[in-house]
Structures are given as C-alpha cells and as structure tokens.
Structure 1
C-alpha cells in the first residue's frame, strides 16, 4: 500500500545523514519535495527539504500535527516528538 505525502504523515528517512530516523511532514512543497521535522535534531523552524523518494511513508498521520497546522500554520516541537514517539512505539507492540 502506497501512502501519499501529506501534512502530519510520519515518515522514515531512507537517505542522508538522518537516515533511519523518523520525522513528520510539516509541508508538502510539490509532488517531489516535502519539508520534514522531528522536533528534536530537526526543529520545526529549521525543517528539512526532502525528496519523497528518500522517505518511507508510514501509515500514521498525526491528527495533532494536522490540527495544529490548520489552526496556526505551525506546530510545536514537543508535538512533533510526541507524534513520532507514538507512531514508533505502535510499531514495537
């Protein structure tokens, strides 16, 4: 099943120095690029431009992130960390 890139989608980074880590899509730029942030090393205000081909889309979309982006146009780093933590822990169970 292919998941489409969308704001709030949890992704696993497949390329680059963040390889193997998880992040959240905070903006879809076009059909090739998105901005991702993890709230920790990669904060919201310094989100990273990523090629969607270098990301593994996870089934989870964080409602908290989506709602926050719709309401204020931004999301707190704590919320990003929480969304990733929730998604990753869900995998281990």
Structure 2
C-alpha cells in the first residue's frame, strides 16, 4: 500500500530536486502513469511548455492548491497567472526560501 502523500495529485506543490530547475517550487498540472508528472510554475516554466518529470526527482509537499486543481478539473487547463499566484501564496504561507533567488 502506497503512502497517500507519495501519490502525486493535480494541483500539488513540489520542490524540484534534479535538473536545471532544481531547488525551485512548481505545481503539478498533469499526471502520466505512476512515475511521471507534468509541472509548471507559470513563470520560467509556462503551462504550455510544462516539464515532464520523474516523480522520484521531486519532493511532494502535502499542499494541493484548490484553485489549480478545480481549474484543471473543470476546464482542463490552468492559467499561468493562477499558477504564479498559487505558488507564491504557498511559499509565503510556509516561509519557504527559494534557492537561487
């Protein structure tokens, strides 16, 4: 039985552990199978150029953004502005320090 926190969800916040964007926070906007997700942050990584990442290269946070989740469930997409807002709110509320900024 997998830990529910290790199962990625649309709208979930993640910290990128590997790759060019390592250290950054992004949001899951799509899921492909059990190992891969599509992430975007609405800024450097826009929704229409979302990055396919292996889940093992991400640290999943418990927080799932209701705005992002509802937008994707209802319309199949989310705006970059909504992603930026959700991520900045998450970072501010959790006092996370962004590496490389």
In which range does the TM-score fall when normalised by the shorter chain? over 0.9
CA distance in 2: counterparts of 1:11 and 1:81, whole angstroms: 14
Q: CA deviation at 1:2?
A: 6.2
Alpha-carbon deviation of 1:92?
A: 1.2
Q: Give the alignment of 1:11-90 within 5 angstroms.
A: 11-90=14-93
Could you say what the CA RMSD is over the residues aligned between the two structures, in angstroms?
A: 1.4
Q: Quick one: distance in 2 between partners of 1:35 and 1:74?
A: 12
Specify the SS of the correspondent of 1:26: strand
- Structure with greater Cα Rg: 2
Runs of at least 4 residues off by over 3 Å: none
**62-71 vs 2-11, which moves further:** 2-11
Q: How far has the Cα of 1:70 moved from its partner?
A: 1.1
Give the gaps of 5 or more residues in structure 2: 97-101
Aligned residues: 93
Q: Which runs of 5+ in 1 are unaligned?
A: none
Q: Residue deviations 1:19-59, cap 9 Å, x none?
A: 00000000010110000000001000110000000000011
Task: Return the offset for 1:91.
Answer: 1.4
State the partner residue of 1:8: 11
- How high is the TM-score relative to the length of structure 2? 0.87
Instruction: Give TM-score scaled by structure 1 length.
Output: 0.95
